[in-house]
Amino acid sequence: MSLDPLLGKGHIQASGVIANPAASCGWLNGSVILDHRRWTCSEADVTWSAPAHVLILTRQGGTSRTSINCAGETSYRGLDRPGSLSFVPAHVVRDGNYRNADLVYTALWIDPDFSARLGIRNETLPIVLNQRDTAIAAALQSFQEDHATGAEFDSGYVEHLTGFILHRIAQRNRQQRKPKTYGQLSGAVLRRVEDFIDANLATDISLRQLAHIARMPVDTFARRFKATTGLAPYAFILEQRVRHAEIILRAGETSIAGVAARTGFCSQSHFSGTFKRLRGISPATFARAIPES
């Protein structure tokens, strides 16, 4: 098993890959395919395109860094988190870099000929990268969970579900303007800042330090950082600390206080509260759920 998407072709260079089984099922003569899997690696560079549209919903886990460019014009730099939703139309080349990825995702692959039969103009379908849509997320999650428990779906149900998702995606194209690139950090500046955060997670990192590394005033840096990553600097640092804590816990560390100290939290209670707020469970519960090797 590998990190390769279910359909399409391309190139993937990855390290620290953990092979995980995938579960997939198709309907309407393979025009619609549901794909559910865990995707785990230390780092991966992905260049890929597929003959089908693909909708991807991150269900659990995430990454410490995600950088995606599609068709040379739509890009995203930030994190994968639960609820992140992406849509890549058929034949669009996707280039991505993912660091410390450990996530579970559900994907829906849709044949462009089928979407055309539903009255969708394929050329109107936009590229969507790590956005939020609670209606689509709820529909796709319910579809996958019902299928996993043995529910059977007739072609009419699958057709209506797929039509709802595609029409909602197409509607985004009418509502959204072309993303503006000004007001964001350049890739080089973002990498410098992220590298500094990664190297100093166990210490107290100030906004002034990050702005100095970016070589810009504090308020300008804070606005541009959030415009680039979707998170304020402090929220980003907390997310990175929790991600690093997950890695330490998976490695077998049992002292919650020790993990808190190694990841820069001022106390065990602050660490436990932040972990539960961001992950929905306490670090102790997370550690107990890790399978024994």
**Statement to judge: residues 41 and 157 lie in one domain:** yes
The beta strands (E) that lie in 18-112 are given as 22-27, 32-49, 53-62, 65-70, 74-78, 85-88, 94-110
- Answer with the one of 175, 205, 223 that is the final residue of a domain: 175
**Statement to judge: residues 170 and 192 lie in one domain:** no
Query: In terms of Cα–Cα distance, which of 169, 59, 68, 143 is closest to 104?
Result: 59
Tens-binned pLDDT, residue by residue, of the chain (293 aa):
467 888 999 999 999 888 677 789 999 999 999 999 998 999 999 999 999 999 999 999 999 889 998 876 668 888 888 999 999 999 999 999 999 999 999 999 999 998 988 888 888 899 999 999 999 999 999 999 999 998 888 888 899 899 999 989 988 766 554 544 447 898 899 999 999 999 999 998 988 899 999 999 888 888 899 888 888 888 899 999 999 999 999 999 889 999 999 999 888 998 999 999 888 899 999 998 888 76
**Statement to judge: residues 17 and 147 lie in one domain:** yes
**Statement to judge: residues 153 and 237 lie in one domain:** no
Domain, as residue range, for 21:
9-175
**Statement to judge: residues 35 and 147 lie in one domain:** yes
In a domain, 4, yes or no: no
183 to each of 9, 38, 195, how far by Cα in Å? 35, 35, 21
**Statement to judge: residues 192 and 275 lie in one domain:** yes
160 to each of 118, 123, 177, how far by Cα in Å? 9, 21, 28
**Statement to judge: residues 122 and 197 lie in one domain:** no
**Statement to judge: residues 271 and 203 lie in one domain:** yes
Three-state secondary structure of 100-165: EEEEEEEEEEECHHHHHHCCCCHHHCCCEEEECCHHHHHHHHHHHHHHHCCCCCCHHHHHHHHHHH
In the numeric block, which tokens belong to residue 96? Answer: 């991505």
**Statement to judge: residues 159 and 245 lie in one domain:** no
**Statement to judge: residues 62 and 40 lie in one domain:** yes
In a domain, 151, yes or no: yes
CATH number at residue 19: 2.60.120.10
Instruction: Give the model confidence (pLDDT) of 246-272 as tens digits.
Output: 999 999 988 999 999 999 988 899 899
